[in-house]
Amino acid sequence: MLQSELFTKTIKEVPKEEVSINSQLLIKGGFIFKVMAGVYAYLPLGLRVLNKIKEIIRQEMEAIGGQEILMPALTPKNWWIKTGRYNNFKALFKFKGLGDKEYVLGATHEEVITPLVKNFVQSYRDLPVYVFQIQDKFRNEPRAKSGLLRGREFSMKDLYSFHTSKEDLDRYYEKVKKAYFKIFRRLKLSAFTYLTYASGGVFSEYSHEFQTIASTGEDTIYLCEKCKIGLNQELAEKEGKKCPQCGSKNLVKKQAIEVGNIFKLGTKFSQAFNFTYVDKTGRNKPVFMGCYGIGPSRIMGAVVEVYHDKDGIIWPEEIAPFQIHLINLAKDEKRARKIYQSLQERNFEVLYDQRKESGGVKLKDADLLGIPWRLVISEKTGNKIEIKKRNKKEVKLVNFRELFNYIKIKNV
Amino acid sequence: MLQSELFTKTIKEVPKEEVSINSQLLIKGGFIFKVMAGVYAYLPLGLRVLNKIKEIIRQEMEAIGGQEILMPALTPKNWWIKTGRYNNFKALFKFKGLGDKEYVLGATHEEVITPLVKNFVQSYRDLPVYVFQIQDKFRNEPRAKSGLLRGREFSMKDLYSFHTSKEDLDRYYEKVKKAYFKIFRRLKLSAFTYLTYASGGVFSEYSHEFQTIASTGEDTIYLCEKCKIGLNQELAEKEGKKCPQCGSKNLVKKQAIEVGNIFKLGTKFSQAFNFTYVDKTGRNKPVFMGCYGIGPSRIMGAVVEVYHDKDGIIWPEEIAPFQIHLINLAKDEKRARKIYQSLQERNFEVLYDQRKESGGVKLKDADLLGIPWRLVISEKTGNKIEIKKRNKKEVKLVNFRELFNYIKIKNV
């Protein structure tokens, strides 16, 4: 894409109440636009990143049998009354419409997915069911000062599983855990992301969070560096600071961002909706449920918190808005244009900066946007191309063919 | 996909208040699930259709330079106050959150896109801007009895254009009009869909709707069959029943579904937000705007209203959930399984019914689901395959290779 045609340009002023690194850099770079506290619009660059994150998550959900659906944001009050969460779930947005109809904005979707799946399941033959959606959630948060890390409206992948037995739920839960590790590997977050034990509620001893270490994270966790396992604050207070795996009390306190969680719901919601199935012997049995969340928009914020320097963002290649940032500094644009076309023909995603701006402005913008590979064409580069990786200082002069020793062709 | 593994099966009971054809068939077929009046969830089959509709629209918006963004559903009250629509737009959902913060659920997005684009445009060099989103809208509708035709929550593609002059807006408006015709052609709705004149508001004499003729449509239009142009009810009452093109008074009254609309906003919203640009001579000038809507979920409903018979839905190939419905009626599944694999290897989208159900049930389900090509393997077909198009009565026996004289390979 031609940078001169890209909607959005880098901007200098960030709303002064935007104190988080992720929202500062993303707003400056023109990735997102602040609509109100905790509510952002995704601009072309930002939406490209968000969609790539969603697509990685989607692929891994489908790989474990998840079928995609899409539930609404508007949900009926009576289903929340049934589960007792209408008054207990503090962050619900509630309101009335015409005819005094009462709505709740979906903050999570157990209250919808349970009657929905019940509608299609009668017998053990209809189970298990694994369904997920990637959709926006709403939470009436008291504070929303961490940019994409804590939104009042935010994107969420929520997977729900339905089983004939606790054992079948346990088995699938471990499968989802593995899928989550794979997702964080693909997002290049696994070096900083720890499986973290949390309270399990009535049904299960533990649930698990995936916590990404970041000094700006809102959560506090206690880390066993040997086992690479964490303990969240609530559990640490309840059960003491002890590794759930090796028993070590030598834990390190860290700030972290909760980027995912998995939870065995057991029969809590199926009982609320009287959701049973008929087993092989003709008896009615309760359905067992699990729920599994990952927030794509929060991940986008977390990636920026982890991958940045004083000059801007450093996107991992997998989710960068473009793979290559081609910058022309030569007076004659001909050579750069030809290289741009050749790269596009080879299916690279290229942002091509042919703007009439100074070299200084262009290189500064490139650092802020954080596209992984920077290629510069100038009078100085002769018939070669200057190549630099955003996260390295080293600059090399190479010819066109040699480029592909560095940049791998990706099937987009 | 194996039909036995598909989440959702056809169901017999439809909520009794669901009187529209589209919601009855879509609910029976397991495409959608009713959450509350005017609010539906999209199940795997339904989401496949909805996503294909969205993708066609997306491609045509990108083809006319549209850049995709994503705005939130939560919007601040003060922006609606600025444009005077906080009290005048009847169908707004309004509510308070913590700290008495006042929200409006986005029923349309002029109030967000105008300050958003203003943030990035200072000079004539920054214009024009064409941005669109595909996102869910919310309207506090008094009645919602037409299934996907009138939702309280519904999906919308909204494109907004920003220009230096009325002339530039006029030029782009015609370009969008052509793109819309192309979209309706690809959706196989163009034979029933008419450009329909509507009031233009303060700025422009006319705006235009795209109306799909259907006896169950909520709108009344007056059609000039010679010019293939319609007049909406409001304009007909205001200016008389006369074709705006040829002047003929010989118009036919029809029921129709409004599947799209395009509107020249002029400077109404840019003035409300004091959005100006600096022209070549250094003077401040107002920005001209257009807005262009198409509702993917309403289109899904409209397609069902237009394409069905007493047995079920008849999806056009372009947006069908699968291209091929392969049904095995033979006792030995081996041959059907082999054909299923061969079709998948050839990149066809196949729903394969290998369920242990009677032939009657399977064929009835196939008619209800409405997948364009039905292939049956049975003892009777020998080493041939029975092929039938959903919208034709004719049944043929063909061998595997001959299939491809009928079904074209599609790049999904």
Q: Which residues contact A327 (CB under 8 A, 6 or more apart)?
A: A336, A353, A362, A363, A366, A374, A375, A376, A377
Report the residue from A42, A65, A98 with minimal CB separation from B140: A98
User: CA-CA distance, A96 to A248, in Å (whole number)?
Assistant: 52
pLDDT at residue number A410: 62
Give the type of residue at A406. Y
With an 8 Å Cβ cutoff, are B74 and A36 in contact?
yes
At how many degrees (to 10) do helices B21-28 and B296-306 cross?
90
pLDDT at residue number A371: 98
pLDDT at residue number A411: 47
pLDDT over 70 percentage in chain B: 99
Largest CA distance in chain B: 81
Flag the least confident range among A102-106, A180-184, A203-207, B396-400.
Answer: A203-207
Q: Residue B240: name the closest of B193, B195, B197, B194 by CA.
A: B197
Looking at the complex, does the CB of residue B71 fall below 8 Å from at least one CB of chain A? yes
Which DSSP string corresponds to B365-406? HHHHHT-SEEEEE-GGGTTSEEEEETT---EEEE-TTTHHHH
With an 8 Å Cβ cutoff, are A30 and B120 in contact?
yes
Chain B, window 74-133: residues with a beta carbon less than 8 angstroms from a chain A beta carbon: 74-76, 93-95, 97-99, 101, 103, 112, 116-117, 119-120, 126, 129-131
Contact A180, A324 (CB under 8 A): no
A-B interface: how many C-beta pairs under 8 angstroms? 139
> Look-up: residue for tokens 């629509």?
B85
Domains observed in chain A: 21-309 (3.30.930.10), 322-406 (3.40.50.800)
User: CA-CA distance, B74 to A197, in Å (whole number)?
Assistant: 33
Structure tokens at B291: 């807005």
Q: Is the dihedral of CA A218, A224, A229, A233 positive or negative?
A: negative
Say if residue B311's pLDDT is above 70: yes
Please return the burial class of B98, using the count of CB atoms within 10 Å of its CB with bins 0-12, 13-18 and 19+. middle
pLDDT at residue number B412: 44
Contact A102, A111 (CB under 8 A): no
For A351, phi then psi, to 5°, come to: -100, 120
pLDDT at residue number B70: 98
pLDDT over 70 percentage in chain A: 99
Say if residue B411's pLDDT is above 60: no
Q: Which residues contact B334 (CB under 8 A, 6 or more apart)?
A: none
Q: Confidence band (pLDDT; 50, 70, 90) for B2? A: very high
User: CA-CA distance, B237 to A405, in Å (whole number)?
Assistant: 69
Q: Confidence band (pLDDT; 50, 70, 90) for A265? A: very high
Q: Confidence band (pLDDT; 50, 70, 90) for B201? A: confident
Please return the burial class of B386, using the count of CB atoms within 10 Å of its CB with bins 0-12, 13-18 and 19+. middle
Nearest CA of chain A to the CA of B402: how many Å?
Answer: 33
- Centroid of chain to Cα B397: 36
Q: Please give the model's pTM, rounded to 2 decimal places.
A: 0.97
Say if residue A210's pLDDT is above 80: yes
pLDDT at residue number B13: 84
Q: Is the dihedral of CA A178, A183, A186, A189 positive or negative?
A: negative
With an 8 Å Cβ cutoff, are B76 and A36 in contact?
yes
User: CA-CA distance, A93 to A105, in Å (whole number)?
Assistant: 6
With an 8 Å Cβ cutoff, are A69 and B47 in contact?
yes
Say if residue B221's pLDDT is above 70: yes
Q: Which residues contact A160 (CB under 8 A, 6 or more apart)?
A: A109, A110, A113, A117, A130, A131, A132, A289, A290, A291, A292
A27-67 confidence digits (pLDDT tens): 999 999 999 999 999 999 999 999 999 999 999 999 999 99
Nearest CA of chain B to the CA of A41: how many Å?
Answer: 4
Q: Confidence band (pLDDT; 50, 70, 90) for A409? A: low
Say if residue B31's pLDDT is above 50: yes
Q: Give the β-pairing of A308-309 and B312-313.
A: unpaired
- Mean of per-residue pLDDT scores for chain B: 96
Q: Which residues pair with A131 in a beta bridge?
A: A67, A160
Q: Give the β-pairing of A67-68 and A129-138.
A: parallel
Comparing alpha-carbon positions, the chain B residue that sits nearest to A9 is: B120
- Centroid of chain to Cα A47: 12
User: CA-CA distance, B245 to B240, in Å (whole number)?
Assistant: 14
Report the residue from B36, B43, B72 with minimal CB separation from A69: B43
The mean pLDDT of A383-387, rounded to a whole number, is 96
Please return the burial class of B206, using the count of CB atoms within 10 Å of its CB with bins 0-12, 13-18 and 19+. middle
User: CA-CA distance, B370 to B21, in Å (whole number)?
Assistant: 14
Determine if the peptide bond prior to B244 is cis (ω within 30°).
no
DSSP symbol at B64: T
* Alpha-carbon distances, residue A408 vs A324, A388, B246 (angstroms): 11, 14, 59
With an 8 Å Cβ cutoff, are B75 and A35 in contact?
yes
pLDDT at residue number B219: 96
Question: Which helix (DSSP H) or strand (DSSP E) does residue A26 occupy?
Answer: helix A21-28
Say if residue A412's pLDDT is above 60: no
pLDDT at residue number B410: 62
